[in-house]
Amino acid sequence: MTAETPVLDTLTEMTAASLEHSSLAPRELMLARIAALIAVGAPAASYLANAEAAEDSGVTADDIQGVMVAVAPVAGTAKVVSAGGNILKAFGFAIAVADSELADDPDAVE
């Protein structure tokens, strides 16, 4: 854990522990986690906190769209539409951070 991001580090460790202790394959666990985020109306930061683990486990944009379609009848249209917006915000934030890190790296290739 770093002094700069203790909350994010804790959430990352919790996600890793969940992956390690689940009987589900990592990809299926992350799909279930995305479904849960949609169901509880999670903010963009929650999707961002799970983005790396989802990507590492092979979850694709098509998978996320499929989960959204699957949970819509149960979670409701408002939560699914809100989730779509929050997922896009999370991706936008991730791209902005990556761009910033590239701009700060003198060895980065443009």
Check residue 27 and give its pLDDT. Answer: 95
Greater model confidence, 31 or 98: 31
What is the average pLDDT value for the chain, to the nearest integer? 89
With beta carbons less than 8 A apart as the criterion, state whether 71 and 80 touch.
yes
Spatial distance between the Cα atoms of 44 and 77, rounded to a whole number of angstroms: 17
The mean pLDDT value for 100-108 works out to: 74
pLDDT in tens, 35-78: 999 999 999 989 988 888 899 999 999 999 999 999 999 999 99
Spatial distance between the Cα atoms of 83 and 66, rounded to a whole number of angstroms: 13
Both tokens of residue 20?
């390690």
